[in-house]
Each structure stands twice: as structure tokens, then as C-alpha cells.
């Protein structure tokens, strides 16, 4: 099972107390990093390095928790996370076993040969073909293979996309192909798209910008990646909201930034005095619709954050991913529109409004940065998509974009209500709901004793996709429990029956 000596790992040592000792030596109890994360990372490394060999049985969660003097819940959650990631398998009534992954075997063999001489830090990195940050990216990856159906959060209804209109607009460009739309694109994207987008953002989102400040990208992921590369260095601190979107966590972490999760309250990002005393390089926020909880950042908090960024020369990245879909009121003004000091980078996407696979999004950057962002974009990614960008410009210009938003807002508003009704009616004790005023998903809260990751897995086995709320927090073991339920891509008539299936699973685990 585990091979260990003082620093390196060698020779068969099969008892749980050896694993506990090995872990106990490595767990830092200084509060700098949550125990959950450390334990998860250590066990992952031990499996990747074949320190824990395939087929070996992990100690029971109770035993390991006792031996490490930590909460049993923490161990249970770590085991469940490892099972979710495919490192271990839990057999009911038997225990938790390291999965036999033959694809890793070649790496494992080389590793075992090298382990005796390697330092444990180097050995940890060599446990995979990947760099340390590459390993971190893969081990915390959140993207799901399932991208459609009840209740996949964040997915719009792509079946209602006006494909005929799009195809007609597109055909015009292919009938008389233009060389400049088929070569690499330079200068931040197709000019007419930047122009029409500037007009739209000014009126719909109160964004202050000239077309030159708009840089067309493949979406928010690429926009943030670009901003990080241009504005921060490896090791710089970035504040993220706690909870936050796993995709942004992946982009930031794999760029070598130090993540500092800052709690949110009903008014949005809520840094403490201690946080404020150490200004970060970047601050990533979702002020119009906190992801995933759904609150709106208050005006007082917006002013505070802008003033703080001005004083400390931090950059604020405003992720405005879905604010077109607000049901009871008009879309809210952007944070960027209040910025007088040029500290805000605004990022948006067409993924939620049109369709995610389109891969077109944009940044709005302060004037002084616009030329540099355009150069870096072409330099790093050799942008293209000229024809798609031209079609999109016409689509917006001719009014199809705003009418599609209007149509989808009505459709999603109806689906949201159907889901709220199902939640209220189906369970004996209705679940409290958060974040239902806007967007494509809501959060159904579960009692804090519920294991939302287990419920998520069991629901998936029953055909229903959800995401566990706790996984969006920096410390899932201590996080509130709940399920993110996306309703936008679920046909009206399927919402009630699909929630019925999910409710059966929830009831089974809530007892
Ligand atoms: C908060 C948030 N930001 C960004 C994105 C992704 O944006 P894009 O598809 O443009 O990369 C998502 C997708 O779910 C999201 O939830």
C-alpha cells in the first residue's frame, strides 16, 4: 500500500498508521492552507507517485480522522472528492480503494525507479508527466463531459438559436470571401464588431468605452488569461470571491498566481481589515450577479472597491457573464461604468446569450492598455474567426441580438418559475432558494449536514446533472451545502418530472 521512509517513499509499509504518520508529518497546522486541501493534495500525490499503489485500501475515514486528530467529515469529503476525480473507488460495505489506472503505469514504473534518490519535493513533481501547476490544474479540473439537459448549470437553450438568420448572414460572406476575414486577425478583432459592441455595451450595460478599447477574444476564459499575463507576474496575489466559478480558479491558478479567497456577504465581496492591509495585484469579481450565489454588489461596496483599487493600483476584473438575464428588473449598470481611474477590466461573453460553442467574448480595457492587449492577443493566440465576427456584427447591427435576448429572457423566466414551483411543491419541506432573480441557474440550499457532493453524484447516476454548492468554496468541508440547478436548457414540460427524479435522490439522503 504505502512505501515510505523519512522523506522519500520506499519499501512496502502496509498499515494505516504508516499512512497516518506520513500524512501527519506533512500536514501544516498553521492555518495557512485548509486541512481539507492539504489532505486532498497529499493523497493525490501519493496516488500519482504510486506511493499508494493501485488496489490498496485506504483506512476508514473514522480511523484516519482519529489518527490525524481532524474532523471525520473532512476525511469523508476528501475521499469523496478523490472518488469523483477517479483516484479511488468506494465499494459499499468494503472500503475505499486506490483505482488501478493502467495508463499511468509507465509513469509509475519510472517513478519507482527514481524515488529512492529523489528528494520528496522533486519526487512529488515527477509523479506526473506534468509540471506542478499542470498537475494542480488537472487535479482540480471542473469541466463536465455533460453539457446539456436537466439541470446543467450555465447552459443556455441552444435549440432556439436563430440558425436560419445566422446562416443567411454567414452565406453572404462565403459567397464573396474576403481575404482579410480569412487571415489571422490583428488589432483586437473585427472593427465593425467592436463598433457595434461598444454601442450596445454603452446603452445596455452603462460601460464607458470607445470601440478601440474593445478586444475580441474567444470568451471570458481567454480574456482573463490574457489580462493575467499582461497585468500580473507569477506569485502575485489575486483576490477571488469565495465562492467562485471553478473555471476562473483554473485560469488563475495555472498562471501561477496566489489565490486569496475573500468571503462574500449579501452586498458582495467583503474583504476584512486584514485583507485590505495587503493589497493584491488583481481582484476578480462578478458584481452584477455573484457566481454562483446570485447577489448583486451594493453601490457602497462598488465605491469602496473602486477607491481601494485606485489607491493601491490593483486591477479589478469585472466578470459580467450573464447579466442580460435579469427577470424582475432591468439589467444592472456595470462597475466599469463607475470607474473614473481606469482600474477596471470588463469581460463579457456571447456564450450565454447565443451559444457556448460560438467562443466569442470580449474585454473592455482602459484606453492606455488597448493597443498592448491587441498586440498580446495576436502574439499569443494568432486570433482568427474573422467570418464569425463579421456575421456577429451584422446580427447585432440588424437587431437580431436584442430580440433573441428578449425572447430568451421570457423563456428562461418561465422555466425559472416552473422550477421554483417544483421545488416548493415536490418536497415536504421546501428547500430555500438563492440567486433566482437572474441568470441561468438557481441555488437550492440543503441543510449544512447534507453531503451535497454525494447527492450530486447520485443524482447524476439517476440522469440529473447538478453541481454541489460546497465545491465552489475554498474550503468545501466548512462550506454551506446546496445544489446549483440550471433551468435554461430544460424544456418546460421536463422541469417538473426531472425535479421529481432529483427530489427522490435528495429525500433518500436527507432522510
Ligand atoms: C462566472 C462565469 N464566468 C465565465 C464563464 C465562462 O465564460 P466563457 O464561456 O466566455 O469563457 C462562466 C461559464 O459558466 C461563468 O459561470
Tell whether ligand 1 has an atom less than 6 A from the beta carbon of residue 127. Answer: no
What is the band of 5 on the pLDDT scale with cuts at 50, 70, 90? very low
Domain boundaries, the chain: 16-139, 176-398, 403-510
> Given a cut of 90, is residue 197 above it in pLDDT?
yes
CB of 41 within 8 A of CB of 132? no
The three cell numbers of residue 435 are 440567486
Q: Mapping DSSP to helix (H, G, I), strand (E, B) and coil, where does residue 231 land? A: helix
Question: Residues 292-351: pLDDT tens digits?
Answer: 999 999 999 999 999 999 999 999 999 999 989 998 887 778 999 999 999 999 999 999
Question: Residues 128-151: pLDDT tens digits?
Answer: 689 988 998 999 999 998 899 999
CATH class of 16-139: mainly alpha
What pLDDT score was predicted for residue 32? 79
Question: Residues 272-293: pLDDT tens digits?
Answer: 999 999 999 999 999 999 999 9
Q: How far is residue 45's CA from residue 127's CA, in Å, rounded to a whole number?
A: 7
The dihedrals phi and psi of 114, each to the nearest 5 degrees, come to: -90, -15
- 16-139 against 403-510: fold identical: no
Give, for ligand 1, the residue of 152, 156, 221, 467 to mutate: max count of ligand atoms closer than 8 Å to Cβ. 221
Using alpha carbons only, what angle is made at residue 243 by residues 239 and 245, rounded to the nearest 5 degrees?
85
What pLDDT score was predicted for residue 108? 39
The three cell numbers of residue 334 are 456595470
> Given a cut of 80, is residue 496 above it in pLDDT?
yes
What pLDDT score was predicted for residue 6? 37
Query: Mean pLDDT across the stretch 436-453?
Result: 95
What pLDDT score was predicted for residue 73? 87
Q: How far is residue 74's CA from residue 236's CA, in Å, rounded to a whole number?
A: 29
Q: Which CATH architecture has domain 176-398?
A: 3-Layer(aba) Sandwich (3.40)
What pLDDT score was predicted for residue 78? 86
Tell whether ligand 1 has an atom less than 6 A from the beta carbon of residue 247. Answer: yes
Tell whether ligand 1 has an atom less than 6 A from the beta carbon of residue 323. Answer: no
Q: Atom 13 in ligand 1: which residue has the minimum CA distance?
A: 154
Identify the residue whose cell numbers are 472518488: 83
Q: Mapping DSSP to helix (H, G, I), strand (E, B) and coil, where does residue 452 land? A: helix
Q: Pick the more confident residue, 123 or 6.
A: 123
Question: Residues 85-106: pLDDT tens digits?
Answer: 677 888 878 889 888 765 433 3
> Given a cut of 50, is residue 363 above it in pLDDT?
yes
Q: Atom 7 in ligand 1: which residue has the minimum CA distance?
A: 220
What pLDDT score was predicted for residue 41? 84
Minimal CA–CA distance to 278: which of 254, 262, 256? 262
Q: How far is residue 167's CA from residue 91's CA, in Å, rounded to a whole number?
A: 51
What pLDDT score was predicted for residue 479? 97
What is the topology classification, in CATH, of domain 403-510? 3.90.1150
Q: Mapping DSSP to helix (H, G, I), strand (E, B) and coil, where does residue 262 land? A: strand
Which parts of 232-298 fold into alpha helices (H)? 246-254, 273-276
Amino acid at each position: 500500500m504505502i512505501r515510505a521512509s523519512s522523506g522519500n517513499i520506499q519499501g512496502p509499509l502496509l498499515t494505516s498508521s504508516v499512512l497516518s504518520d506520513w500524512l501527519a508529518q506533512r500536514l501544516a497546522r498553521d492555518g495557512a492552507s485548509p486541512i481539507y486541501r492539504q489532505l486532498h493534495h497529499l493523497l493525490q500525490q501519493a496516488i500519482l507517485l504510486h506511493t499508494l499503489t493501485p488496489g490498496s485500501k485506504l483506512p476508514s475515514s473514522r480511523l484516519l480522522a482519529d489518527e490525524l486528530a481532524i474532523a471525520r467529515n473532512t476525511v469523508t469529503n476528501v475521499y469523496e472528492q478523490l472518488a469523483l476525480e477517479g483516484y479511488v473507488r468506494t465499494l459499499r460495505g468494503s472500503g475505499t480503494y486506490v483505482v488501478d489506472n493502467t495508463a499511468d503505469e509507465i509513469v509509475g514504473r519510472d517513478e519507482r525507479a527514481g524515488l529512492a534518490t529523489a528528494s520528496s519535493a522533486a519526487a512529488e513533481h515527477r509523479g506526473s508527466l506534468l509540471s506542478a501547476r499542470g498537475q494542480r490544474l488537472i487535479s482540480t479540473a471542473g469541466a463536465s463531459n455533460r453539457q446539456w439537459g436537466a439541470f446543467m448549470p450555465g447552459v443556455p437553450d441552444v435549440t432556439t438559436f436563430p440558425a436560419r438568420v445566422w446562416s443567411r448572414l454567414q452565406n453572404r460572406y462565403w459567397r464573396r470571401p474576403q481575404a482579410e476575414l480569412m487571415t489571422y486577425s490583428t488589432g483586437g478583432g473585427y472593427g465593425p464588431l467592436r463598433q457595434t459592441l461598444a454601442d450596445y455595451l454603452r446603452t445596455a450595460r452603462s460601460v464607458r468605452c470607445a470601440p478601440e478599447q474593445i478586444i475580441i477574444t474567444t470568451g471570458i476564459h481567454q480574456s482573463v488569461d490574457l489580462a493575467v499575463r499582461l497585468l500580473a507576474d507569477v506569485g502575485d496575489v489575486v483576490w477571488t470571491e469565495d465562492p467562485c466559478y471553478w473555471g476562473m480558479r483554473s485560469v488563475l491558478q495555472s498562471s501561477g498566481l496566489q489565490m486569496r479567497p475573500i468571503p462574500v456577504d449579501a452586498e458582495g465581496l467583503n474583504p476584512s481589515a486584514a485583507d485590505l492591509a495587503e493589497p493584491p495585484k488583481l481582484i476578480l469579481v462578478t458584481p452584477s450577479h455573484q457566481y454562483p450565489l446570485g447577489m448583486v454588489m451594493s453601490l457602497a461596496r462598488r465605491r469602496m472597491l473602486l477607491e481601494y483599487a485606485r489607491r493601491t493600483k490593483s486591477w479589478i476584473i469585472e466578470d459580467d457573464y450573464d447579466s442580460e438575464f435579469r427577470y424582475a428588473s432591468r439589467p444592472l449598470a456595470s462597475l466599469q461604468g463607475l470607474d473614473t481611474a481606469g482600474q477596471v477590466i470588463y469581460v463579457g461573453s456571447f456564450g450565454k446569450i447565443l451559444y457556448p460553442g460560438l467562443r466569442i467574448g470580449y474585454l473592455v480595457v482602459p484606453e492606455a492598455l488597448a493597443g498592448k492587449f491587441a498586440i498580446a492577443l495576436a502574439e499569443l493566440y494568432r486570433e482568427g474567426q474573422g467570418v464569425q465576427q463579421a456575421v456577429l456584427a451584422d446580427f447585432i447591427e440588424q437587431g437580431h441580438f436584442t430580440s433573441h435576448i428578449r425572447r430568451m429572457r421570457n423563456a428562461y423566466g418561465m422555466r425559472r418559475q416552473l422550477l421554483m414551483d417544483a421545488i416548493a411543491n415536490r418536497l415536504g419541506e421546501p428547500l430555500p432558494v438563492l440567486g433566482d432573480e437572474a441568470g441561468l441557474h438557481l441555488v437550492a440550499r440543503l441543510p449544512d449536514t447534507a453531503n451535497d457532493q454525494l447527492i450530486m453524484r447520485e443524482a447524476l447516476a439517476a440522469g440529473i446533472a447538478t453541481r454541489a454548492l460546497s465545491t465552489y468554496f475554498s474550503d468545501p468541508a466548512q462550506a454551506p451545502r446546496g445544489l446549483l440547478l440550471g433551468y435554461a436548457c430544460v424544456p418546460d414540460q421536463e422541469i417538473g418530472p426531472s425535479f421529481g427524479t432529483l427530489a427522490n435522490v435528495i429525500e433518500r439522503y436527507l432522510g
